[in-house]
Each structure stands twice: as structure tokens, then as C-alpha cells.
């Protein structure tokens, strides 16, 4: 079996697994406890925060640990909306966002906020002018992801940030950086973001920890009430093993970004041109996208049917993002990009990681040809 689902979950580094195990055994004390074991645990969290801050090029106090990027996105959006509702009750986001952003915005809409969802162009890009045109005097927050988790399309974050701040300097700019970090250069400061979310398990770290960069001076209304952990913005005893191991993964991802992108780009480009040669398929990713995501559709064929066929041939692929793969609905992202319903139902996402080689890609190509052929024959038989 070859695993092609790194964008859903990447296999953890061995040292990440070892760190989690060791810390669970040795540092079980509560970091809030005043005794020596508690102080040691608190020091480890402080160090992990420094490591993340240095990898992101920000101040240590600007890092908040959460349980994952779903929570980071919820906290960024609902926390900002609730904290700054005195400035207005309007939010701008896009049709491309991950459900953790999209659904948070829909929830706010149900609670009386106005939300504008900006549409992408057919290549999946967001025009900064469309964002600028949507920002108003009462816009509290704009949220635009760096890299789309289905197609890998990359947004011009710096231009979007400039457009937001020119339209309204008080509007906060949130970037969901989950699929971009470690694959493309740039962090919150480069993007002009006030808020920036990250997920260590997408970069070979552990599950159960997420990061949120909160620019100095910005406050978020805590969604989880309790103690004064995480600068009063996120209560709950810290998940120390995941935080420390997650910080390792963040450091490694930032150190290895250039090398990883250099290795993945030729594999991605090879796959893109191979897929364009199969007349039955529509390719939804481009060379301007992220180096690790290739998305295509077989219009008229449900994505999960093709995915199951590929699994029988030893290839583990995804139908779209893991969070939406169990819905039978057409992909909201592909529909927004102007694909028809048949294409939006028949999507396959291949996501690459550092374990992949040319020969893995060759094996995948052979499997795709066989799978498409088998489905065509089965389709013909059914007519
Ligand atoms: N944002 C994007 C773009 C993602 O791809 C994902 C996960 O698929 C998330 C947010 C949520 O991350 P987590 O799995 O850490 O909750």
C-alpha cells in the first residue's frame, strides 16, 4: 500500500512518537502546580512556545496552544467576533475555506452577524480586490486560507492583507496556514496576519495540539472558560506531550521547507501532466498551487468509487478533505470554482509527502490508468 493522504494526516516522525512517550512517562505533573515537578512541566511548555515562535518569526507571547487547528480557527473567528462586536458585526471570508472556518462563520450568521463569502476564480485563486470590495466600516474580521486543502490553490496573502488594511485598518486579518506551513515559505508576519492557525499533525507532529498566533495587542474572547491558561484565551490543562512534540515538528517543518518543496515539486508536476493526458479526467490543481496537493475529477463517477478502485490497486487516496469526505454532497470548493455538479462529486485528492519517490508516482500513474479503465468497462457493461 502507498499512502497518498499527507494533507489529511502525515505520519509522525519517529522522534515525535518517542518524545510523546517519554514525556507521558516523565512529565505527567500539571504545569500549573507549584511544586518542582509542575515547574519543570511549565518550563517545557515555555520552551516549546519559544521554539514555535522562533520557527514562525514571532514573539513567544504571541503563540497560543489549542487542541488542533479546528479549535484555532474557531477561536480566531468566534473569539474575534465576540471580543470586537463593538466595532461591528460583519465578517468576510471565502467559499474555499475549511469547514472549521466556514461553519464558524455560518454559526455567527445564525447569531446575527453578517457574513460575505467571496468566490474564487476558476483556478481557485481569490482576487484581493474582491476582498477589498467586501470590507466595510463595520467589518471585524477577514479570514482567508493560505493553501486550499482540496485543490492546493495558493492565495496572495500579502496582497490580501494590504487590501484589507487599506479598506479598514481596524479589521483583523486571519490566515488558516494549516496546508501552507512547511510546504511554502512565509509566516504570519510575512502575510501581514493578525491571527494565524497551524496544525502539527499535518507536518508529521502529533494529534491533539494546534497553534494560534495572536498578534500582540489583539485579544480574543475565550471560547473555553476556566483557568487562566494560555494568556487567558484558552482554559484547560495543557497537553504537554503533544505541545512539546508538536513544537519539534513545527521547527523541523520550517527548517526543511525549501528542501521538501524542492523534492515534491517535480513529482507533483509529473502527476499533473500525466493526469492532463487522460481525456476522462478534469484536473483541478495547477502548477501555481502548493507542492503537495494534486486534485482531479472523473465527472460522472463518484469520487469514493474511484478511491475504492485505487485502494484495491494499493493506493490510499482521499476524495477531498478528510473532514468532508463522508458527505455525499458535491464539493463546495469545486462548485465555487465553477465546476459542474458531476465534476464536484467525482473528486480525488492526492497529497504528497517526504516519503514519496519517482517510482511511487509511476506506480500511482499505472493504478490510475487501470482504475479508470476498469470503471469505464463497468460503466459500459451497465448501459
Ligand atoms: N484548516 C485546513 C486548511 C485543514 O486542511 C485542516 C485539516 O484538514 C484544518 C484546518 C483542521 O485541522 P485539525 O485537523 O488540526 O483540526
Residue closest via CA to ligand 1's atom 13 equals 69
pLDDT band at residue 59 using 50, 70 and 90 as cut-offs: very high
pLDDT, position 278: 96
CA of 379 to the centre of ligand 1 (A): 35
In the predicted structure, residue 379 carries a pLDDT above the cut 90: no
In the predicted structure, residue 327 carries a pLDDT above the cut 90: no
Residue closest via CA to ligand 1's atom 7 equals 8
pLDDT, position 289: 98
Q: Which atom of ligand 1 is nearest to the CA of 71?
A: 16
In the predicted structure, residue 10 carries a pLDDT above the cut 70: yes
The pick from 149, 195, 201, 206 for probing ligand 1's pocket by mutation, whose C-beta has the most ligand atoms within 8 angstroms, reads 149
Residue 218 phi/psi, 5-degree rounding, is: -90, 135
In the predicted structure, residue 241 carries a pLDDT above the cut 90: yes
Which residues line the pocket of ligand 1, CB cutoff 6 A?
Answer: 68-70, 73, 98, 100, 145, 149, 176, 178-179, 199, 201, 210, 321-323
- Interval 358-375: pLDDT, tens: 999 999 999 999 999 999
Q: Which atom of ligand 1 is nearest to the CA of 70?
A: 16
pLDDT, position 103: 98
pLDDT band at residue 222 using 50, 70 and 90 as cut-offs: very high
The pick from 179, 212, 290, 332 for probing ligand 1's pocket by mutation, whose C-beta has the most ligand atoms within 8 angstroms, reads 179
The pick from 143, 178, 293 for probing ligand 1's pocket by mutation, whose C-beta has the most ligand atoms within 8 angstroms, reads 178
In the predicted structure, residue 27 carries a pLDDT above the cut 70: yes
- The reply to whether ipTM tops 0.95 is yes
In angstroms, the CA 9 to CA 179 distance is 11
In the predicted structure, residue 142 carries a pLDDT above the cut 80: yes
CA of 203 to the centre of ligand 1 (A): 11
Percentage of the chain beyond pLDDT 70 is 97
**Mean of the pLDDT values across residues 247-268?**
98
pLDDT band at residue 50 using 50, 70 and 90 as cut-offs: very high
Q: Which atom of ligand 1 is nearest to the CA of 210?
A: 15
172 touches 140 (CB < 8 A) = yes
pLDDT, position 323: 55
In the predicted structure, residue 273 carries a pLDDT above the cut 90: yes
pLDDT, position 322: 53
Least confident piece of the model among 95-109, 158-172, 340-354: 340-354
In the predicted structure, residue 64 carries a pLDDT above the cut 90: yes
HEC profile for the chain?
CEECECCCCCCCCHHHHHHHHHHHHHCCCCCCCCCHHHHHHHHHHHHHHHHHHHHHCCCHHHEEEECCHHHHHHHHHHHHHHHCCCCCCEEEEECCCCHHHHHHHHHHHHCCCEEEEECCCCCCCCCHHHHHHHCCCCEEEEECCCECCCCCCECCHHHHHHHHHHHCCCCEEEEECCCCECCECCCHHHHCCCEEEECHHHHCCCCCCEEEEECCCCCCCCCCCCCCCHHHCCCCCCCHHHHHHHHHHHHHHHHHHHHHHHHHHHHHHHHHHHHHCCCCCEECCCCCCCCCEEEEECCCCCHHHHHHHHHHCCEECECCCCCCCCCCCCCHHHHHCCCCHHHHHCEEEEECCCCCCHHHHHHHHHHHHHHHHHHHHHHHHHC
pLDDT band at residue 376 using 50, 70 and 90 as cut-offs: confident
Q: Which of 323, 335, 363, 375 is catalytic?
A: 323
Comparing 355 with 173, which gets the higher pLDDT?
173
Average pLDDT over all residues of the chain: 95
CA of 70 to the centre of ligand 1 (A): 6
CA of 178 to the centre of ligand 1 (A): 6
CA of 214 to the centre of ligand 1 (A): 18
CA of 181 to the centre of ligand 1 (A): 12
Q: Which atom of ligand 1 is nearest to the CA of 199?
A: 15
In the predicted structure, residue 190 carries a pLDDT above the cut 80: yes
In the predicted structure, residue 49 carries a pLDDT above the cut 70: yes
**Mean of the pLDDT values across residues 203-218?**
98
pLDDT, position 9: 97
Q: Which atom of ligand 1 is nearest to the CA of 323?
A: 8
Residue closest via CA to ligand 1's atom 12 equals 69
Catalytic residue flag (residue 52): no
* Domains of the chain (ranges, CATH numbers): 2-7+257-382 (3.90.1150.10), 14-252 (3.40.640.10)
CA of 182 to the centre of ligand 1 (A): 14
In the predicted structure, residue 147 carries a pLDDT above the cut 60: yes
pLDDT, position 248: 98
pLDDT band at residue 378 using 50, 70 and 90 as cut-offs: confident
- Interval 283-324: pLDDT, tens: 999 999 999 999 999 998 999 999 999 999 999 999 865 555
pLDDT band at residue 381 using 50, 70 and 90 as cut-offs: low
Closest CA to 164 of 185, 142, 180: 142
- Interval 110-119: pLDDT, tens: 999 999 999 9
Amino acid at each position: 500500500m502507498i499512502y497518498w493522504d499527507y494533507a489529511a494526516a502525515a505520519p509522525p516522525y519517529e522522534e515525535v512518537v518517542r518524545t510523546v512517550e517519554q514525556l507521558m512517562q516523565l512529565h505527567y505533573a500539571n504545569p500549573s502546580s507549584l511544586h518542582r515537578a509542575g515547574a519543570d512541566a511549565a518550563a517545557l511548555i515555555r520552551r516549546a512556545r519559544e521554539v514555535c515562535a522562533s520557527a514562525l518569526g514571532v514573539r513567544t507571547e504571541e503563540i497560543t496552544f489549542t487542541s488542533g487547528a479546528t479549535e484555532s480557527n474557531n477561536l480566531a473567528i468566534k473569539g474575534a467576533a465576540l471580543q470586537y462586536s463593538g466595532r461591528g458585526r460583519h465578517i468576510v471570508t471565502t467559499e474555499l475555506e475549511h469547514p472549521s472556518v466556514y461553519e464558524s462563520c455560518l454559526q455567527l450568521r445564525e447569531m446575527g452577524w453578517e457574513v460575505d463569502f467571496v468566490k474564487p476564480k476558476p483556478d481557485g485563486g481569490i482576487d484581493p480586490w474582491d476582498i477589498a470590495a467586501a470590507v466595510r466600516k463595520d467589518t471585524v474580521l477577514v479570514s482567508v486560507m493560505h493553501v486550499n486543502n482540496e485543490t492546493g490553490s495558493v492565495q496572495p496573502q500579502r496582497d490580501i492583507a494590504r487590501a484589507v488594511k487599506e479598506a479598514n485598518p481596524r479589521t483583523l486579518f486571519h490566515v488558516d496556514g494549516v496546508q501552507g506551513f512547511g510546504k511554502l515559505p512565509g509566516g504570519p508576519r510575512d502575510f501581514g496576519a493578525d491571527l494565524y492557525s497551524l496544525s502539527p499533525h499535518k507536518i508529521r507532529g502529533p494529534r491533539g495540539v494546534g497553534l494560534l498566533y495572536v498578534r500582540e495587542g489583539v485579544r480574543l474572547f475565550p471560547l473555553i472558560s476556566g483557568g487562566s491558561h494560555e494568556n487567558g484565551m484558552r482554559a484547560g490543562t495543557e497537553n504537554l506531550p503533544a505541545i512539546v512534540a508538536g513544537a519539534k515538528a513545527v521547527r523541523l517543518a520550517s527548517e526543511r521547507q525549501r528542501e521538501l518543496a524542492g523534492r515534491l515539486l517535480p513529482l507533483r508536476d509529473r502527476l499533473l501532466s500525466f493526469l492532463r493526458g487522460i481525456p476522462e479526467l478534469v484536473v483541478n490543481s495547477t502548477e501555481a498551487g502548493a507542492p503537495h496537493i494534486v486534485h482531479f475529477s472523473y465527472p460522472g463517477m463518484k469520487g469514493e468509487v474511484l478511491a475504492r478502485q485505487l485502494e484495491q490497486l494499493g493506493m490510499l487516496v482521499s476524495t477531498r478533505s478528510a473532514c468532508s469526505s463522508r458527505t455525499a454532497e458535491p464539493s463546495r470548493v469545486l462548485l465555487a470554482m465553477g465546476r459542474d455538479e458531476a465534476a464536484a462529486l467525482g473528486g480525488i485528492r492526492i497529497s504528497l509527502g517526504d516519503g514519496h519517490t519517482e517510482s511511487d508516482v509511476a506506480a500511482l500513474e499505472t493504478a490510475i490508468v487501470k482504475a479508470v479503465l476498469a470503471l469505464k468497462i463497468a460503466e459500459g457493461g451497465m448501459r
